[in-house]
């Protein structure tokens, strides 16, 4: 069982290496990438089942003793995120087949390396390996971002690389400071140290700052809406599911384990969460293309997850985990819809499109479902997530946070309605310069994701059980710590 | 004393790196990141304690150096090197493509250009010179701003 932990990391890396050695065989590349990701998904579901009772399987790679081994461990939170990202990668690969993105040189191997890095970051138990695996994930993303065509791509690619490189440098500096103050970098060894020792708290805060930059928390969010919309739409969907979420996961994990959920900093997290929600949603109001609106909403939704962390009660953490998992699916669905629109119409600007729901009703259905879920309307998963979060907020009496969360949801709905009325409702544009048939993969991928969101809303119980287990593990990380340190 | 000098080195490297990052032109940004990377490497080594100097794989005593930060630094150097090469590749490809016009004007060529093309060797001279030349081409692409 524990050996399974290696597969989500090593599997895609190995297949990517083999594929790089065999260029030009498109069918082989597609089959291998899809099969690998499907395999990762199966392994991730197995891990999810194994961890749903609170167990924490640990693998010391190569059988080395605990102090020197590279350890991988999965608790319910890690397993859930590996599962969800595998679903997103699978759908993005299918959509890339439909849009022809995967014909770009090295696209599929790069996506595999990206997913391997993300899975590794979810499973690692050590701050330095977290840094390395985030780099493994970022390096292909640099290339994927600059593969896309379009104007302004060079500049955006430079902003993206420079921002993330700064974040990585800061992260490494934070790891160095943590090592300097404690002499360890393993999460298990660091458990609770930042709560007890202000010096460690400052050092770990540098790590959190770097991760905040990577997950685009407000005041460090500006790079995201500037750079993501320039990438190819399918790539944006992939990035949204993996990159910022890894940063967010690491923030949650480090705050829960290293800080032990120290209440002294809840106000700071809460302030960042509320700011992210408001700034993100207001930034989207003025934008005029689907991808730009959706990337601003990314910033806003990350705030909701962080709000759950800031309250740090069992209910709010469960809400945050559930929110994060369903939100990754919903956002990928929306961005894949944007990819389909962009592929069919040659643009995803709001004023140059319209009437798409008549021509492609399935695509309209997928967008409508995902958009309602993002805004938090029943019966979709977004409703359950927001309901849980608001209930947890009310229980702690954080009325300001609750008001902001509700208002931001309303503005989110407004943005979604704006996209709907401009792109899907109304009459088709008269001048159809580019009108390509949107193939089945491009419609099917977002539809499947929206369907999953609906399923997670209608039958929320299994996911809620997992979220509760994950929240219990975050509230009291002693089980995780015991498993990771082996003591 | 060793700790103080390490702190001083880190401070100077970070200051120089940040200064270069804030200058226009991608080549200077790349060089700034190289300096920042060096600063963090020194910080990592200092975190392991600079007083202990005996080789790690011989007999372990109180004076044995900590091998872990050295492994960290090796890994970090490799990663920084790879990304630096990628950045230089971006710089090379975008040469004359959509270099931000406003920045080139602000630099006004001058001393800054001359210095960094000297530092970057033959490779750096081309793209950085292009920085000023492309200036009138295109104002568009709001994302074109490196800062």
- A77-111: pLDDT as tens digits: 999 999 999 999 999 999 999 888 888 888 999 99
pLDDT digits (tens, 9 = 90+) for B7-56: 999 999 999 999 999 988 888 999 999 999 999 999 999 988 888 778 77
Q: Which of A122, A194, A134, A206 is nearest to A165 (CA)?
A: A134
Query: How many percent of chain A have pLDDT more than 90?
Result: 67
Nearest Cβ partner for A155 among B76, B87, B141? B141
> How many Å lie between the alpha carbon of B118 and the closest alpha carbon of chain A?
23
How many whole angstroms from its chain centre is CA A97?
22
Place of tokens 């004023």: A351
DSSP B51: S
Range with the poorest average pLDDT among A112-121, A144-153, B138-147? B138-147
Whether residues B140 and A151 touch (CB distance < 8 A) is answered with yes
Q: Show me where the domains of chain A are located.
A: 2-485
- Is residue B15 in a domain? yes
pLDDT score, position B145? 38
Confidence at A369, pLDDT banded by 50, 70, 90: very high
Residue of B nearest to A175 (CA): B44
**B3: CATH:** 1.10.287
- Is residue B31 in a domain? yes
pLDDT score, position A430? 65
pLDDT digits (tens, 9 = 90+) for A196-251: 899 999 999 999 999 999 999 988 998 998 888 888 889 999 998 899 999 999 99
Burial of B109 (0-12, 13-18, 19+ CB in 10 A): middle
Residue B135, classed as helix, strand or coil, is coil
**C-alpha gyration radius of chain A:** 21
Q: Which of A249, A257, A254, A246 is nearest to A482 (CA)?
A: A257
Range with the poorest average pLDDT among A44-48, A59-63, A430-434, B43-47? A430-434
pLDDT score, position A432? 57
Selected residue with higher pLDDT from A469 and A63: A469
Range with the poorest average pLDDT among A4-13, A56-65, A466-475? A56-65
Residue A153 pLDDT > 80: no
pLDDT score, position B95? 64
pLDDT score, position B115? 36
Please give the Cα distance from A456 to A449 (Å, whole number): 10
Please give the Cα distance from A327 to B28 (Å, whole number): 39
CB A78 within 8 A of CB A111: no
pLDDT score, position A476? 92
pLDDT score, position B7? 92
- Is residue B35 in a domain? yes
Q: What are phi and psi of B25, to 5 degrees?
A: 100, 130
CA angle at residue A330 from A460 to A385, to 5 degrees?
40
CB A141 within 8 A of CB A114: yes
pLDDT score, position A431? 61
pLDDT score, position A111? 95
3-state SS string for chain A: CHHHHHHHHHHHHHHHHHHHHCCCCHHHHHHHHHHHHHHHHHHHHHHHHHHCCCCCCEEEHHHCCCCCCCEEECCHHHHHHHHHHHHHHHHHHHHHHHHCHHHCCCHHHHHHHHHHHHHHHHHECEHHHHHHHHHHHHHHHHHHHHHCCCCCHHHHHHHHHHHHHHHHHHHHHHHHHHHHHHCCCEHHHHCCHHHHCHHHHHHHHHHHHHHHHHCCCCCCCCHHHHHHHHCCHHHHHHHHHHHHHHHHHHHHHHHHHCCCCCHHHHHHHHHHHHHHHHHHHHHHHCCCEHHHHHHHHHHHHHHHHHHHHHHCCHHHHHHHHHHHHHHHHHHHHHHHHHHHHHHHHCCCEHHHCCCHHHHCHHHHHHHHHHHHHHHCCCCCHHHHHHHHHHHHHHHHCCHHHHHHHHHHHHHHHHHHHHHHHHHHCCCCCCCCCCCCCCCHHHHHHHHHHHHHHHHHHHCCHHHHHHHHHHHHHHHCCHHHHHHHHCC
Residue of B nearest to A224 (CA): B143
Tokens of A350: 């709001």
Query: How many percent of chain A have pLDDT more than 70?
Result: 97
pLDDT score, position A433? 55
CB A353 within 8 A of CB A341: yes
Cis, bond preceding A219 (omega within 30 deg of 0): yes
Q: What is the largest CA-CA distance in chain B?
A: 66
Please give the Cα distance from A247 to A163 (Å, whole number): 14
Residue A149 pLDDT > 60: no
CB A257 within 8 A of CB A190: yes
Residues of A in contact with B94 (CB under 8 A): 154-155, 158
> How many Å lie between the alpha carbon of B125 and the closest alpha carbon of chain A?
19
Residue of A nearest to B96 (CA): A154
Find the mean pLDDT for residues A324-342: 93
pLDDT score, position B146? 38
- Terminal alpha carbon distance of chain A: 20
pLDDT score, position A304? 94
- Is residue B141 in a domain? no
- Angle subtended by helix axes A233-257 and A127-147, to nearest 10: 170
Confidence at A322, pLDDT banded by 50, 70, 90: very high
pLDDT score, position A94? 94
Nearest Cβ partner for A155 among B46, B72, B100? B100
* Mean pLDDT value across chain B: 70
- Is residue B44 in a domain? yes
Whether residues B21 and A226 touch (CB distance < 8 A) is answered with no
Please give the Cα distance from A192 to A463 (Å, whole number): 28
What is the count of residue pairs from A and B with beta carbons less than 8 Å apart?
102
Q: Which residue range forms the structural domain that includes residue B2? A: 1-54+65-94
Please give the Cα distance from B125 to B127 (Å, whole number): 6
Confidence at A343, pLDDT banded by 50, 70, 90: confident
Confidence at A156, pLDDT banded by 50, 70, 90: confident
Find the mean pLDDT for residues B101-114: 36
**Count of domains in chain B?**
1
Residues of A in contact with B36 (CB under 8 A): 166, 169
DSSP B114: H
Tokens of A416: 């979604």
Strand partners, A186: A126
Query: Model ipTM?
Result: 0.86
- Is residue B112 in a domain? no
* Mean pLDDT value across chain A: 90
Cis, bond preceding B19 (omega within 30 deg of 0): no
Nearest Cβ partner for B90 among A146, A152, A172? A146
Nearest Cβ partner for B47 among A139, A166, A177? A177
Find the mean pLDDT for residues A280-305: 91
Find the mean pLDDT for residues A171-185: 93
pLDDT score, position B143? 39
């Amino acid at each position: 069982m524990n050996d399974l932990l290696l597969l989500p990391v090593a599997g895609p890396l190995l297949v990517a290496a083999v594929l790089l050695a065999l260029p030009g065989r498109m069918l082989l590349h597609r089959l291998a990438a899809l099969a690998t990701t499907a395999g990762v998904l199966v392994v991730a579901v197995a891990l999810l089942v194994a961890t749903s009772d609170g167990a924490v399987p640990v693998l010391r790679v190569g059988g080395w003793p605990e102090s020197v081994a590279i350890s991988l461990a999965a608790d319910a939170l890690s397993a859930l995120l590996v599962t969800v990202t595998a679903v997103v990668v699978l759908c993005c690969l299918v959509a890339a087949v439909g849009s022809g993105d995967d014909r770009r040189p090295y696209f599929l191997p790069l996506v595999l390396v990206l997913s391997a890095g993300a899975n590794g970051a979810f499973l690692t138990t050590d701050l330095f390996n977290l840094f390395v695996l985030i780099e493994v994930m970022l390096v292909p993303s640099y290339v994927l971002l600059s593969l896309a065509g379009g104007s302004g791509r060079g500049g955006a690619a430079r902003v993206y690389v420079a921002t993330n490189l700064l974040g990585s440098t800061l992260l490494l500096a934070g790891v160095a400071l943590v090592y300097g103050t404690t002499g360890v970098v393993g999460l298990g060894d660091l458990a609770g140290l930042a709560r007890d020792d202000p010096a460690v708290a400052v050092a770990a805060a540098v790590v959190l700052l770097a991760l905040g930059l990577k997950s685009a928390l407000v005041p460090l969010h500006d790079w995201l809406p500037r750079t993501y919309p320039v990438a190819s739409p399918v790539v944006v969907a992939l990035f949204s599911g993996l990159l910022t979420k890894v940063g967010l996961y690491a923030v949650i994990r480090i705050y829960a384990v290293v800080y032990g959920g120290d209440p002294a900093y809840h106000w700071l997290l809460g302030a960042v969460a509320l700011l992210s929600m408001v700034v993100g949603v207001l930034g989207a109001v003025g934008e005029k293309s689907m991808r730009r609106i959706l990337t601003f909403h990314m910033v806003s939704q990350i705030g909701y997850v962080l709000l759950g962390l800031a309250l740090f009660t069992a209910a709010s953490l469960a809400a945050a985990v559930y929110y994060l998992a369903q939100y990754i699916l919903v956002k990928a669905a929306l961005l894949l819809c944007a990819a389909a629109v962009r592929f069919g119409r040659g643009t995803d600007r709001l004023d140059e499109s319209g009437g798409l729901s008549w021509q492609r009703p399935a695509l309209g259905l997928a967008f409508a479902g995902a958009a309602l879920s993002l805004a938090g309307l029943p019966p979709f998963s977004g409703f359950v997530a927001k309901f849980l979060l608001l209930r947890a907020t009310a229980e702690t009496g954080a009325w300001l946070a609750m008001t902001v969360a509700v208002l931001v949801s309303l503005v989110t709905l407004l943005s979604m309605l704006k996209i709907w009325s401009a792109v899907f409702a109304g009459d088709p544009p008269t001048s159809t310069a580019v009108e390509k048939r949107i193939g089945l993969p491009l419609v099917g991928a977002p539809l499947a994701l929206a369907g999953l969101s609906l399923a997670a809303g209608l039958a929320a119980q299994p996911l809620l059980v997992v979220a509760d287990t994950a929240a219990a593990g975050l509230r009291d990380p002693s089980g995780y710590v015991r498993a990771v340190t082996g003591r | 004393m060793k700790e103080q000098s390490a702190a001083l080195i880190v401070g100077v490297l970070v200051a120089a790196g940040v200064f270069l990052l804030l200058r226009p032109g991608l080549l200077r940004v790349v060089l700034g990141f190289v300096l920042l990377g060096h600063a963090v490497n020194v910080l990592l080594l200092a975190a392991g304690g600079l007083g202990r100097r005996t080789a790690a794989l011989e007999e372990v005593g109180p004076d044995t150096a900590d091998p872990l930060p050295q492994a960290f630094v090796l890994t970090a150097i490799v990663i920084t090197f790879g990304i630096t090469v990628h950045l230089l590749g971006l710089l090379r490809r975008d040469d004359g493509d959509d270099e931000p016009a406003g920045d080139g004007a602000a630099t006004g060529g001058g001393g800054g250009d001359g210095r960094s093309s000297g530092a970057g060797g033959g490779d750096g001279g081309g793209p950085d010179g292009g920085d000023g030349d492309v200036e009138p081409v295109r104002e568009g692409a709001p994302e074109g701003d490196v800062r």
